[in-house]
Chain A
Amino acid sequence: DTAVSQTPKYLVTQMGNDKSIKCEQNLGHDTMYWYKQDSKKFLKIMFSYNNKELIINETVPNRFSPKSPDKAHLNLHINSLELGDSAVYFCASSHFYRKDTQYFGPGTRLTVL
């Protein structure tokens, strides 16, 4: 059974376009996250949602907007894509009050041309 899933796995698009990445978890977790991994493999948290409320919003451009229709889903919408947005985006989930778990999705490789 898939625990954390993301679609699409690959996304190639032109500069200026708007795109979305979907994430779903079936682990019963109440918190979901988006991370960005750059070309140097550095992972940085972008957003966190707990019970559909935004908890963390690191210094991410407002072109990025997370949307959580329910506890099991956290989608990432990106407006006016730029070359620098090219990266791998990971969704993850965990329990808010348990520190011992955080599971990642397979990642979405976004390439902006």
Chain B
Amino acid sequence: AQKITQTQPGMFVQEKEAVTLDCTYDTSDPSYGLFWYKQPSSGEMIFLIYQGSYDQQNATEGRYSLNFQKARKSANLVISASQLGDSAMYFCAMRGQYNNNDMRFGAGTRLTVKP
């Protein structure tokens, strides 16, 4: 069974600083994908970044980077130079190999960026 854990219900960060949102996972699949989504107060789910379990390098997308530590089964999201518009819920998710459609989500972290 797959499990995603986000241990930070809420996080605060000062504008222009970097912040790390934690995510750990558990799976027996040899190949899997890890995702981060942003959900602003308007409610939509916005895809941010993807990391494949066999990718050699950590994924980066603009100000977002994924700190992937396979041995520790962690996939933390790093947001650099935080902006007020980054205030939102952030969800970590995983999709396994053997059940390609079985995407499981963590409970989410609410990030608040302070001016």
A residues with a Cβ closer than 8 A to B are: 31, 33, 40-45, 48, 50, 55-56, 88, 90, 92, 94, 96-97, 99-104, 106-107, 109
Contact = CB atoms under 8 A, between A and B. Distances in A.
B107 interface: yes
Interface string B13-48: 000000000000000000111010101000111110
B52 A100 contact: yes
B18 to A, nearest CB: 24
A39 B79 CA distance: 26
A56 B102 contact: yes
B52 to A, nearest CB: 7
Residues of A contacting B: mostly: strand
B100 A99 contact: yes
A41 B33 contact: no
B68 interface: no
Contacts of B47: 101-104
B32 A99 contact: yes
A100 B50 contact: yes
Given A99-B33, A100-B33, A100-B50, A106 B43 contact: yes
Please provide the 8 A-B residue pairs with the shortest distance between their CB atoms, ordered closest to farther.
A99-B33, A104-B45, A48-B101, A43-B105, A100-B50, A106-B44, A107-B43, A41-B108
B103 A102 contact: yes
B43 A109 contact: yes
A106 B40 CA distance: 11
Nearest to A90: B45
Contacts of A94: 101
A50 B101 CA distance: 9
Nearest to B32: A99
B101 A33 contact: yes
Nearest to A56: B101
Contact of A107 (B44, B52, B93, B95): B44
Contacts of A102: 35, 47, 95, 103
B89 interface: yes
